[in-house]
Amino acid sequence: MSGKPLSEIVSDYGPAVLGEQFATGAFPLLVKVLFPKEKLSVQVHPDDDMAQKYGDPRGKTECWYALDAQPGAQVALGIKPGVPPEKVRSAIEDSTLEDLLEWLPVVKQDMIFVDAGTVHAIGPGVVLLETQQNSDLTYRMYDYGRPRELHLDRSMEAMNLLTGAGKIKPVNENGHVKLIDKPYFRLDRFALDAAGSIPKVADFESPFRDRVQIFFVADGAANLKVAGAEPISLNRCQIAIVPANASGWSLEPRDRAEIIRIVPQLGDES
């Protein structure tokens, strides 16, 4: 399968790659690294029901893990309490929407949940690992005067003034850190040290052997070892996808490594 795009592999080997519960359709998640040099546009994403109303298969709930953050870095997450929808629309039209946003400071290793319907924006000075439903549905509400299309009617329909968005407190769990456990995705952080007591992540230790697992190297370097194959070298900000049917594999640090494990979940699973 060397050289094949992921979409083709999923189409040909869906259940083996994704696991039976995720075997229909596209790869369930998108994973990106964002490093804005200026404020990104103010956006909102639809939920599954609204997306399907307009002919798309799914909405877009996402989360951000801060790989790095400069002093003063912040994101906007939601509309200030008590602001009615009509004031939001008028603020878009008179270029004062920024004043109605809840701005949240961000530091390294913050985990931020952004459920569908949350008005949001990302400021400069932060590097984010974004995990999201596999959807490109984005409604741009405001763009600081830049000459790009806005989607005001759809934005107002998608917007929820009360959402579950916010920072998620990490939880220590069996030698690693659970970062987030929500419908659509779960993320865990592993601090691996070749000389330490947690030398690797392996298939027999994972509770998610029934589904695809995504491993992102947030820091350091690691080797993905699979029985009968050459090790795969992974450096910082590189990613590996371990199929659901894989066995006999282990992810081992070359010295030390911070690894983020990402697994898909069903919409009602957490």
Which segments are annotated as binding site for Zn(2+)?
Answer: 45, 62, 120
SS3 23: coil
Question: Strands (DSSP E) along 123-248, which ranges?
Answer: 126-133, 139-142, 166-167, 171-173, 176-182, 185-193, 201-202, 213-226, 232-234, 239-242
Q: How many CB atoms lie within 10 A of CB 87?
A: 15
**C-beta of residue 114 within 8 angstroms of C-beta of residue 165:** yes
Helix (H) or strand (E) holding 254: strand 249-264
d(CA 170, CA 172): 7
Structure-token pair, residue 5: 């795009």
Structure-token pair, residue 99: 């004043």
What percent helix, strand, coil does the chain show, rounded to 5?
A: 15, 40, 45
Q: Could you confirm whether 146 is annotated as catalytic?
A: no
Burial 17-37 (b: 16+ CB within 10 A, else e): bbbeebeeebbbbebeeeebe
**C-beta of residue 141 within 8 angstroms of C-beta of residue 96:** no
- Summarize the annotated binding site as residue ranges: 45, 62, 120
Nearest Cα to Cα of residue 41 among 147, 126, 117, 161: 147
> Which residues touch 234 (CB under 8 Å, ≥6 apart)?
215, 217, 221, 222, 223, 224, 240, 251
Catalytic residue among 58, 140, 189, 211: 140
Place of tokens 């952004």: 114
Residues marked active site are found at 140
